[in-house]
Every structure is written in structure tokens, then in C-alpha cells.
Chain A
Amino acid sequence: MDLTPALGPRPPASETGESGLTLDEVRQVLDAETIWCPEPSVRAEWVVAADLMSDVLICQAPGRLLLTSLVNQQAIRTAAIMDFAGVVFVRGKSPRADVVELAQEKRVPVFVTALPTFEAAGVLYAALRARTGTRDGTSCDG
């Protein structure tokens, strides 16, 4: 699939003062369905792709986007605990009503994309790199 950033080239963050992607841009590049997102202008600074929440909890940086195929309440609670910008469920897995209710209660935006994890991560990586340029400190090293 084409991993060319769908949003086109943008000035690096150092020039615009902005970094990351808005949730609306995330929705666009992943062709995702919005399940709940009250503030599409909120920015996701980077992405953590994982199905084990234990691995996610090692990341210390807030403002990330959780990309996961774990469609349950723990994905939402993990994102809430970590102050993440939102959660994207992959492979078209729609959350149950209780998961959506928890997301609304904890104010965690939720999207669903038909893409599998690898492709969704590739698309987001390309879009984020195009937006922010090369930057250090993006790894999840705790």
C-alpha cells in the first residue's frame, strides 16, 4: 500500500510551532471511523502500537496515540492513565457499548480503522515524520 503521507509535505515543527497530528488528521490518514471524539483538534505527538498494555505502561510520555487490536476497557483505562491523546482500534474491530461509555466517561477519543496494525503504524509513522521531521526522544524507552 502507498505509505506516502496523505497530508502532503508540511514545514517541520520547529518552523510552525506545531508538532504531531491532530486527531482529525489521524482519522483522515487512516480512513478511520470516529467512535467518539469531542475535540478533533487535539494533537497526537507520537504513536504506541501494542496489544499488551503492560508494554504501553512503560512509556512515560503523554500525548501519544494508542494503536491496538485489544478492544476492551483496559485499552481505554491505559490510555486514560497515560494521558494519551486517543485510541485507534485496528482491523475494523468496533468497541462494545461498555467500552465506548468508559471512553466517554474518561474523555478518551476512540477511532476504528480497517487497516491492520502494521499498515496503520506505517501510515501514521510516515505522516508524523513528514510533519515533525527527524526528532530524537520518540522511542518508548520509559
Chain B
Amino acid sequence: MDDRQFVRTYVVTGGDFQGGGRMSTDIKDTLKDLGFPPALIRRVAIAAYEAEMNVVMYARSATVTLRVTPDCIGLEVIDQGSGIPDVPLAMQEGYSTATAEMREMGFGAGMGLPNIKRNADEFVIASEVGRGTDLAIRVRVH
């Protein structure tokens, strides 16, 4: 078992539409520097971008941890926000509580969580109303 591991932590601020996406593009650049293939990087970057914009739109802030091993790329998003009252409903494509302002920024079509799941090999979500949402995904390297 190879115990090499790369870890980087980010803080994402809710409501920061202008800066939304900085984390995801940094994750993409980091994975590129680590030598992963473009298709794999794209899957992680898409999931990271969707997760990041969810925080920007719906949470006050979040701590995001990127964890990379030779076998797996993991992303853990722990946000402080209002939480999701009905997670299965939020997982349905097209379901959205986005405001007009969010849509003017190009997001809020109700595709975020399903698209994160689509790009992940493992997807776990837990949410508590009034506290926030924890999301963890893993993408296998091989």
C-alpha cells in the first residue's frame, strides 16, 4: 500500500459570486501539476465547481479538503448554512430553490448535486437544517 498523500484545504465564502470558481480552477491546476490525465481531472474539477457554487449560493461558508493519493482523489465539503430539508428531492435533476439573482449568474438549474454524483465514484451527503451540509466524494484513479 502506497501511503503517499497530498492534502490541501480551502475556505469558500458564501455569496462571493465574483470569486466563485477560484477553488475549483486551483484544484484543476493542482491535479494537472500532479500528473493526472485530463479526463480524470475534468471529472474532479466539475464536481468541485458544482460544490463550490452550491456553497456560494446557499451557505455562509465552507471548508473544503482535497485529498489525493495514488489511487483516489477525494473532496470533502463541510458547509455552515441553512442545510437541505429534503436531500432526496435536492438530488432530483431540475429541482432548484435558486433565486433570480443566482440564475443571472448562470447557476441554479437544479443540476448541481446530481452532476456531482455523476462525476464521482463514491458520493455521500448528509445535511441538517440550521447547521449545514457535509458532502464527500471520491474519484478512483484507476
Binding site for B on A (CB under 8 A): 51-55, 57-58, 60, 62, 70, 72-75, 77-78, 80-83, 106, 142
A-B contact pairs, 10 of them (CB 8 A): A54-B109, A54-B110, A54-B111, A57-B111, A77-B21, A77-B24, A77-B25, A80-B28, A82-B42, A83-B38
Chain B: interface secondary structure? helix
- Count contacts between A and B, CB distance < 8 Å: 68
Contact between A62 and B42, CB atoms less than 8 A apart: yes
Question: Is there an interface contact between A54 and B108, defined as CB atoms closer than 8 Å?
Answer: yes
Given A70-B106, A142-B118, do A82 and B46 touch, yes or no (CB 8 Å)?
yes
Residues of chain A with a CB closer than 8 A to B21's CB = 73-74, 77-78, 81
B20 cross-chain contacts in A, Cβ below 8 A: 74, 77
Known contacts A54-B111, A57-B50, A60-B42; A80/B106 CB under 8 A: no
Q: How many residues in B have their beta carbons less than 8 Å from beta carbons of A? A: 25
User: How many angstroms between the C-alpha atoms of A105 and B66 in the bound complex?
Assistant: 23
B115 interfacial by beta-carbon distance below 8 Å: yes
Which residues between 12 and 66 of chain B lie within 8 Å of chain A, taking CB atoms? 17-18, 20-21, 24-25, 28, 38, 42, 45-46, 49-50, 53
Asked whether any CB of chain A lies closer than 8 Å to the CB of B81, the reply is no
A55: chain B residues within 8 A (beta carbon) = 109, 111
Complexed CA–CA distance, A83 and B21 (Å): 14
CA distance A52 to B20 in the complex (A): 15
Other-chain contact of B105, A58, A62, A72, A106 (Cβ < 8 Å): A72
Which of the listed residues B20, B45, B49 has the most CB atoms from chain A within 10 Å of its own CB?
Answer: B49
Q: How distant is the Cα of A53 from the Cα of B112 in the complex, in angstroms?
A: 10
Residues in A whose Cβ lies below 8 Å from that of B45: 81
User: B24 to A57, Cβ gap below 8 A?
Assistant: no
B38 touches A77 (CB 8 A): no
- Are A75's CB and B106's CB within 8 A? yes
B63: min CB distance to chain A, Å: 21
Contact bitstring B101-142, A, C-beta under 8 A = 1, else 0: 001011111111001001000000000000000000000000
